[in-house]
Amino acid sequence: MTEADLAGHLLASDLYFVIHDDRTGQMRLHPRLTGLGLAAAIVGELMLAGRVAIAVAAGQARLTPLHPAPAPGMVSAPGRAHAPGATRGPGAPTAIDEVAQTALGHILAEPAHSLQTWLRFLARTAHADVAARLTGAGMLRPRSGRRLPLRSRPQVPVDPNAALWPVGRLNLAIQRGQRLDIRDALLLGLVVATTVARAVLWEPESRHLADSIAGLPAPYRELIAQTKAAIGDAVISPR
């Protein structure tokens, strides 16, 4: 498997392509919403890799690091005992890339922060971090041209078909009523939470779409709910 294959199968990479036009590279959302969505996807990568859990206490969601193995009372396999209020995805911890590892390092250093705080913090650099990942994998062209400042120039996908595939995969599954695995159902949930669903999904009000998200394990539904709340706050209080 090539570096591009690996990058293209990461949650935040797929969401990046959904949020950007597959040919022009233009962002479909306001930069703040894009950053929050990608930050949530990076957290999702850590959850899928078994590196963090979500613990809800006193109505507040927090990230609980699971490094390198689950803490006492928390286990990898679903259906077994876990710490009160803590939830996580199934499976033993797996390898993560530099983007996710950097995020994990921050969480390990200051685990007391709420999930909302981490979403806002990671959102500051999430777009640039995921774009750099995809550029390094040869999936995005480096910025070029002189008409706009360098940071304002959209990065065009090297292969529009590869960039279109994440949302195409979701649309086909919804249209055909196919069951989504946890990663794609989480991707779908984040597409809805960021509001980009209105622009990219063929059937944004589909019952199968709603059922796919509702069928996710509780930790992933909590991440989607927290992302939706952060997006709502950003829309109401732009700054």
Q: Tell me, yes or no, if the pTM score tops 0.75.
A: yes
- Looking at residue 55, its pLDDT comes to 93
- Going by pLDDT thresholds of 50, 70 and 90, the confidence category of residue 79 is very low
User: Residue 41 corresponds to which amino acid?
Assistant: A
Structure-token match 């996908």, residue found = 157
- Looking at residue 1, its pLDDT comes to 41
Nearest Cα residue to 95 out of 1, 18, 184:
1
| Lookup: tokens for 235 | 């829309």
What are the pLDDT digits (tens) for 166-190? 999 999 999 999 999 999 999 999 9
**129-133, 150-154, 218-222: least confidently modelled range:** 150-154
Continuous H helices in the chain:
3-8, 11-19, 31-48, 98-109, 115-136, 160-176, 182-193, 197-200, 207-214, 218-236
What are the pLDDT digits (tens) for 96-147? 999 999 999 999 999 899 999 999 999 999 999 999 999 999 999 997 755 5
> 178: phi > 0 → left, psi -120 to 50 → alpha, else beta; which?
beta
Per-residue pLDDT for 198 more than 90? yes
Cα separation, 50 vs 39, in Å, equals: 17
